[in-house]
Structure 1
């Protein structure tokens, strides 16, 4: 087997899309603190420049969008990694709707858990600079 045939630029690109999508998706259990919440907060801060009341709602939307982008990138990377030909156009709308549906469900569950004080989004003390 020729190594050059196994590893092509297209496979590397699609592998990167899959890994990056996995890191953004809700399937990665540790990603929120490192990726999704900073992206969501940045999105919320950007939107809150127009109105300070929009920080929390825009952060929720930013979190939702980062999860959707993650799932879609993961799906596109995996499908295109396996396929040799570019046939994803026929399944692109299906992939987008599956990504939107699963990300929406995950975000709704996260918001419900947060509203019922079952999830604590407070920053740990080592990130706030306080000793206690």
Structure 2
């Protein structure tokens, strides 16, 4: 029972961090990645974009790994081809959001707030 509960908790946290649904990247991973990238951007503005993308991928990878571990603890009987399809879909969404992050930063929609740059830069 404890293993199944742990698996459920890990799966839930993993789901929240993973790119499996359309909303969690916008609501969780983008803001979290932005916050993780800010200190690097304050050190050097050129570090903002790469650290944003790296942080985004880290949150997604951690989410996918936590889901995988959690589901294995619950002992999923999902077929291999279903798992492969889910992984491919996840990677496609992850790449889409990576392109979105790059586009938003390069076009100036997402940037380090001027007040922070003036304060720490």
TM-score > 0.5, shorter chain as reference: yes
Give matches, 1:1-132, under 5 Å. 8-82=1-75, 106-113=93-100
Q: Is the 8 A contact 1:24 1:36 kept in 2?
A: yes
List gaps (5 residues or longer) in structure 2.
77-86, 111-121
Q: CA RMSD in A?
A: 3.0
Match of 1:86 in 2: none
List gaps (5 residues or longer) in structure 1.
1-7, 84-98, 124-132
Computing the radius of gyration over CA atoms, which structure comes out larger, 1 or 2? 1
Greater length-normalized contact order (CA 8 Å, ≥ 6 residues apart): 2
For 1:81 and 1:48, the matched residues in 2 are separated by 40
For 1:47 and 1:104, the matched residues in 2 are separated by 26
For 2:89 and 2:58, the matched residues in 1 are separated by 11
TM-score by length of 2: 0.65
Per-residue deviation, 1:20: 0.7
For 1:103 and 1:109, the matched residues in 2 are separated by 10
